[in-house]
Chains A and B, each alone.
Chain A
Amino acid sequence: MAAALVPLQNITLSSNQTSVTFGSIPTSGYRDLYLVINNTLVSSGTNGVMRVNGDTGGNYNRIQMVGTGSSTSSYSASGDDAIYSWELAGTGSRGVVTMNFMDYAATDKHKTILIRSNVPAYAVVASANRWASTSAITSILLTSGGSFAAGSTFALYGVVA
């Protein structure tokens, strides 16, 4: 039976680190990418920041919904210089983020990235994001306003069509 979810790369941080980058992502053999983050930040919880292919231009668009346990909200933005629509757990907590990069290697469409953020101490978030580029995704940068604590894990998978 052919594998549907293929591990591409992973890292468990041995020390605090301000960013994690997956690079040299193959552009054939897979339809989508699936990324799982299980983390704690050194400081308090904050927005995650994600860029693909090192693009720092205003090419990121998003819509998101947030539940904090006491309130609900929805936001949208266009022309951002990164994807900011995900949340990370801060000191004393632990969160999980999953990202689906749909048709990541297609060269005839912009890229849709669906993100679920789970920070039990703060919020649950779902967002739909668009990278306005027809380039295949070959690298993913993950960072935030703080540092990822040692022990945080990041795993990237390819999804076979």
Chain B
Amino acid sequence: MSMTKIATATLGSDAAAISFTSIPGTFTDLMLVVSARRTGVAEAAYINFNGSSSNLTVRTLRGSGSGVSSDNRTDGYIGEQDGSNMTSNTFGNAQIYIPNYAGSTNKSFSVDSVMENNATLAYQQIHAGLWSNTAAITSITLNTYLGGNWLAGSTATLYGVTKGSLAGVTVS
């Protein structure tokens, strides 16, 4: 099997962060799937690696239901997440793919996220991220804007993806 669940974090109570630590370096890539909601109003969510929020850059493309915009940021922004001012019982979602997370090059990552809402204002976003650090990723933390909390029931699952080869398939 080339896609293995490493861990699932499910918040039993409101919490400031969702974290994965001691990530083994035995896979090729990481995939993180998130379903989350803030206790406060909908706001930005951020990712950081190995406890560091430095050396992160993100280029974004966002559709809001009534317009489109693009930003260039120097943080680990992964999109807006649902909050108390959005449709109740509705969680935002994100998928983050990190290739070669344990390698010795800078770490680029891909993000697709959505802030769900049964109204005009909702966000669908894609992001190109880069952590300019050659260290292997051993921990991942998801935070919200200005230190707000994630709502109990928010979940995130971390998968390891392993490359390989199948007899007969060629590459050159």
Contacts and interface: CB of A to CB of B under 8 A. Distances in A.
Interface of A: 1, 3-11, 20-26, 36, 38, 65-72, 89, 93-96, 98, 116-124, 126, 151, 153-158
B2 A24 contact: no
Contact of B168 (A24, A70, A94): A24
B46 to A, nearest CB: 15
Given A8-B164, A8-B165, A153-B163, 13 more contacts: A3-B1, A7-B164, A11-B172, A22-B169, A24-B170, A36-B99, A67-B62, A96-B128, A116-B126, A118-B109, A120-B128, A124-B128, A155-B99
Main SS of the interface on chain B?
A: strand
Contacts of B168: 24, 26
Interface stretch (B10-18, B63-71, B136-144, B150-158): B63-71
Interface residues of B, number: 42
Contacts of B107: 94
Nearest to B68: A72
Contact of B166 (A5, A8, A11, A67): A8
Nearest to A23: B170
B61 A66 contact: yes
Contacts of A24: 168-170
Interface string B104-128: 0111111010000000000000111
B58 A153 contact: no
Interface in B51-83: 57-62, 68-72
Contacts of A4: 1, 3
A9 B61 contact: no
A17 B128 CA distance: 24
Given A7-B162, A71-B70, A123 B59 contact: yes
Contacts of B61: 65-67, 72, 124, 126
Given A120-B57, A155-B28, A155-B163, A96 B169 contact: no
6 contacts: A7-B164, A9-B169, A22-B170, A23-B172, A70-B70, A96-B110
B165 to A, nearest CB: 5
A71 B68 CA distance: 9
A9 B59 contact: no
Contact of B126 (A1, A23, A126): A126
B171 interface: yes
B49 interface: no
A9 B170 contact: yes
Nearest to B73: A69
Contacts of A5: 1-3, 161
Contacts of A22: 169-171
Contacts of B3: 3-5
B29 interface: yes
Contacts of B100: 38, 153
Given A23-B170, A156-B171, A118 B105 contact: no
